[in-house]
Amino acid sequence: MKVKAKLRKELSTENLDTEKCDPLTLPSPPEIGPSFSNEVTLTHQTMLTPVFNIGLDKLIKAPSDIKLGSINRYWLGRFGVEIMFFLKEYEKARIKIAELYADKDSTGKPIMKPTVFYRTVLDEKTNESIVKQFPKIGEDGRPIVQYCFEQNLGAQEDVQKELSDLISSVVPIPFHKINIDLVVIGDYLQSDELYALEGIINWIIPAEKQEEIK
């Protein structure tokens, strides 16, 4: 009981120097044995990958019969919060790039226009398939709008380069990788989810199981 109480105290955010530490950018976890190893760096592309987010969400919400341990569950949740913070910053940067290369009006402000989508429908008169243009409608019943890029090849190349640089940029997460026993996970995660999460998790195979695999 004393050990658990000590761990709870060490992990408590009350022990942080809030004047020096953003609540979403906490220091590396305390030294609590072999549960953690290796510092974490991720690209925006990894964090935006659906299979990565699905796998992480499944682990965070894993049922009690998946014996992850309370400390691992805690840090998985912290990873989720930290990654969400960086994704919001990514979206802000992406919008700035869109604003920079958008068509401008006479006052220099970016021009906004409805996002247009195309859909194949059946023509009632000819009974043939035709492609029609449809605006994407939001919940408020209005067309969803987006910035319009400059209509020249040079600008498009610049946009693509900046977006490519942004999505491939490396983000240092201020935590360490978590060691999780693959035997504990069993078939709970798909193989592509296990692979996608290697950026934040070291999947461990116990020595006795390694012998069985051989």
What is the reported pLDDT for 77? 93
What does pTM read for this prediction?
Answer: 0.62
In a domain, 198, yes or no: yes
User: Given this model, what pLDDT does residue 13 score?
Assistant: 38
Residue 100 included in any domain? no
Domain total for the chain? Answer: 2
Tell me the helix, strand and coil percentages in the chain, rounded to 5. Answer: 45, 25, 30
Check whether residue 172 and residue 83 sit in a common domain. Answer: yes
CA distance 75 to 70: 9
Q: What is the pLDDT of residue 22?
A: 40
Owner of token pair 């998790």: 201
On whether both 84 and 182 belong to a single domain, the answer is yes
Q: Are 22 and 69 found together in one domain?
A: yes
Give the C-alpha separation, 115 to 148, whole Å. 9
Pair (90, 116) in one structural domain = no
How far apart, in Å, are the Cα atoms of 199 and each of 73, 81, 176? Answer: 17, 16, 10
Burial class for 214, CB neighbours closer than 10 Å (0-12, 13-18, 19+) = exposed
* Structure confidence by residue, pLDDT tens digits, 149-200: 555 556 778 888 888 999 999 988 888 899 999 989 989 999 999 999 999 9
Question: Do residues 83 and 173 share a domain?
Answer: yes
Question: Mean pLDDT, to the nearest integer, of 90-98?
Answer: 87
pLDDT at 15: 42
134 and 71 assigned to the same domain: no
Q: How many residues does the chain have?
A: 214
Q: Identify whether 159 is part of a domain.
A: no
Question: Residue 83 domain-assigned?
Answer: yes
Question: 1-15, 81-95, 106-120, 123-137 — which one is most confidently predicted on average?
Answer: 81-95
Angle, CA 80 vertex, CA 78 and CA 85 arms, to 5°: 95
Q: Specify whether 117 is located in the same domain as 177.
A: no
Of 8, 1, 15, 2, the closest CA to residue 71 belongs to: 8
The runs of H, that is alpha helices, within 20-152 are 44-48, 50-60, 70-101
Are 120 and 194 contained in the same domain? no
Let me know whether 33 and 122 are in one domain.
no
Domain match, 57 and 138 both: no
Q: Do 7 and 80 share a domain, yes or no?
A: yes
Q: Report pLDDT for 154.
A: 61
Question: Within a domain: residue 161?
Answer: no
pLDDT at residue 209 in the model: 59
Parent domain of 194: 2-94+168-213
One domain, residues 118 and 61: no
Q: Tens of pLDDT along 57-75?
A: 999 999 999 999 899 999 9
